[in-house]
Structure 1
Amino acid sequence: MKYALIWPAIGLLSLASLPAQAIINIEEMRMDETKPGWASSSTLTFSGKRGNIREDKLALNGGVQWNRDDLQVRNLLLFTLNRSSAEGTTFSRDSFVHVRHTRQLDETIAWELFAQHQDEPLNDDYRRQLAGTNARFRVDQRFIHGYFGAGVMYEERRVVPGANVEVSREDWRFNFYLNSRYQLSDNAELAASFYVQPKASDVSDIRSIVNVGITSRVTRLFSLTLDMSYSNESEPLFGQSHDEWTYSMGVNLRF
């Protein structure tokens, strides 16, 4: 088993804002696909304060992966659990689970099956679950160095904004994404990704997200990260905005 104390900052950003961003950038959360056998990654964070107010925050993020000896079959599990409380009362709680089966067809093409569940019961009882399949293509061209995906998924979402009121939506959606990395220097890397998910029965109903992140390695152990995302949804659920900006800056520690 391999353990990492801190997950990559881009993955942490995606998991930290599950309900606000319906699209989760799984491509940035994948584990090492080049080594056979089992691997795992986990981060447990606890913080709090005592004084005028008593506050506690707990976050658990992680993943488990199994690669067959020939690397042609891979199984991946990703999960997160966040909980925040003040004066003994929990005011925020969310969870996320994603499972994915990948079968490599040749050097550049893979076929995948996946399922996902998200919920935040204290935020209008928000829930989202989906299942789908996609083809994943490795691309190494002049301006693109990464992966392109195309597939379809069935999605269920629900929110309860008030007493005896429930807003739900069930859709078949196409799923397209492009994820690419660029080496800016010996110690700096740029990662850019784009997801778009049009509704199968009405392609004008589109959900999309653009993400750009820069990692600059200061030493062998430390690196600085900057990440920005913009998401848009033409038909959001009740009480949600059409678009959203998120950003994150931090220090990444690996050993």
Structure 2
Amino acid sequence: MEVSHFVKHYSAQNTQQQQQHLLVRYNHRYNICIPWQVEVFTLSTGASRSPYGNLPRKPIQFGYRQAVNGFYYWLATDTSTIDGELESYNMIISFDITSEEFREIDLPDNLVYNRSMCNLSISNIRESLVVLECDENEGVYVVWIVEDSVPESFTKLFTIDVPGATVLRVLEFRKRGEPVIEIEEAHNDPFDDSSSLVVYEPNSKHVSNLDFSGTGSFYVNAYKETLLLLDQPDFTVFDKGKRYIAKKRSL
């Protein structure tokens, strides 16, 4: 199924005369490399356009995304045919909100080829980009951080290891940097697939239970102010450069 991802961000270029808001869109089919499209939407004009800067190379497939301090980052895979064989390697694609420039960022060597992108994700710790590496064999996660906001300067920050349990996912980070994780405790019941949400303290390696448990999937997101159309009335719709008010549906 073809899907579209929309990235919404407020530009720093906020003045009384013009408030510019950017929307980046790209299309792809999972597991199939097809041409994608990147657009920038400016609220003041109500129209989309191509970015002013460069675009990523076409073989690149986008994955997880994260906003950090004026940049947007995607975990990505570059799939190319070399000597008749299909080869893939992992990387990060960055997008500068101000200059609208895309850039390729190299990952640590052990994450480029040795890890499937299914075992990698990216997140944000105190406005620093981090890469999360899942070690399925050990049931732990390794957290890599970009030092001093310098791309390609990755340092292993800590390993999330909970004795007697398997770390299933890292869902979010709190303000002080502690990860909120989903774990599955070791037990003898093969039919019990319940999991729990806990907070992991990297220094003490202590785990605090959040009293959320059960089967299925958990989703956690950091609270941020909602993207609002500041000077637009409710139900404003933009379509091909035209702006109109949609009718409110009655319940």
TM-score, structure 2 as length reference: 0.27
TM-score, structure 1 as length reference: 0.27
**Larger-gyration structure (1/2):** 2
Which structure shows the higher strand fraction? 1
